[in-house]
Amino acid sequence: MSGGLLALLDDVAAIAKVAAASLDDVAAQASQAGAKAAGIVIDDAAVTPRYVVGFAADRELPIIGKIALGSLRNKLLLLLPGALALSLFAPWAITPLLMAGGLFLCFEGYEKVHSLFASHGHAPAPAAGEGASGTDPGSVEEAKVAGAIRTDLILSAEIMAITLASVPDQSFLMQAVVLAVVGIGITLLVYGAVALIVKADDLGVLMARGHLGLTRALGRGLVKGMPGLLRLLSLVGTAAMLWVGGGIILHGAAGLGWPAPEHALQEVAAQVAAVLGAAGGFTAWLVSAIAAGVLGIGLGAMVALAMSAIRGSKH
């Protein structure tokens, strides 16, 4: 009896060691994949705050929560099984689908830029949370959330594709677990950071009521500076749509057998980095981002023109 119990305990210990090794492997694979997707994560964090600008302070966290839940649904219920199915049955379709998503980002970014310039010189639109005359603020909020989740779907697809490409030799189960871990971890990271950003002004109010002069000064600085920072993040978010969308198109074209544009851009960026030395890394990234953004706004304009022509032909 005791011998059987000892054998059972040995088996449990062996299983525990295998499980621990597997967890370590998952953590290592997820960390490596998450690092490769870091650029998209930063773009995702830059895009999201623009969707809460203009809403009442008590609606900011609920809106972020709705977008975060939508992001988790995107990653775990749509993209994870979709990515695994495509990798098994139609791996050739992944790049064209990502390029279609990149084109959507270009179009959405172009629409934001166009509306910004089209409204220049006219009376400002009502704040997002207030709504226009006869518009239900709840409907405005739901529309904003739906738009944010659509944009998140494209960015999340790129994150999941990069993650899947980072574990090509792993088992199907390991790929699924790594995709889930990266998806959940990045969602918590991005929307946790966004929540901190948009509520920093509330922290500033609390600090401004403190007893220390330095704390009060920092609090007042946060309160005064956050509206400008949120407007800046809104502009950065729009720019991120364009440079991420353009970058997806460039990378996808290279994957489909037309690498010349991406290689030319990389060569220019490398030459800039070589000339500038220590500051070259950032400048090279900036050159690449600007070029991808210019491509993105051009492609977005073409999509907008095509859609306008299609609408016109139906009337």
Q: Please calculate the CA angle 137-308-237 and round it to the nearest 5 degrees.
A: 50
Phi/psi at 37 (5° precision): -95, 10
Q: In this predicted structure, what is the pLDDT of residue 123? A: 45
* pLDDT digit string, tens, across residues 225-236: 877 777 777 787
How large a percentage of the chain has pLDDT more than 70?
A: 75
Q: Can you give the residue ranges of every domain in the chain?
A: 11-235
Q: 19: pLDDT confidence band, cut at 50, 70 and 90? A: very low
User: How high does pLDDT run on average in the chain?
Assistant: 77
What is the DSSP secondary-structure string of the chain?
A: -HHHHHHHHHHHHHHHHHHHHHHHHHHHHHHHHHHHTHHHHHHHHHHGGGGTTTS-HHHHHHHHHHHHHHHHHIIIIIIHHHHHHHHHH-GGGHHHHHHHHHHHHHHHHHHHHHHHHHTTTSPPPPPTTT-STT--HHHHHHHHHHHHHHHHHHHHHHHHHHHHHH-TTS-HHHHHHHHHHHHHHHHHHHHHHHHHHHTHHHHHHHHHTSSSHHHHHHHHHHHHHHHHHHHHHHHHHHHHHHHHHHHHHHHHHHHTT--HHHHHHHHHHHHHHHHHGGGHHHHHHHHHHHHHHHHHHHHHHHHHHHHHHHHHHH-
Give the residue, 194 or 18, on which the prediction is more confident: 194
Q: Which residue has the tokens 């981002």?
A: 289
Contacts of 33 (CB under 8 A, 6+ apart): 162, 163, 166, 167, 178, 182
132 pLDDT exceeds 50? no
> What is the radius of gyration, based on Cα positions, of the chain?
23
| Stated pTM of the model | 0.69
What the block records as the tokens of 6 is: 């000892």
* pLDDT digit string, tens, across residues 175-224: 888 888 888 888 888 888 888 887 777 777 777 776 666 777 787 887 78
Q: In this predicted structure, what is the pLDDT of residue 44? A: 63
**Cα–Cα distance between 109 and 244 in angstroms, integer?**
10
* pLDDT digit string, tens, across residues 264-282: 888 888 887 777 766 667 7
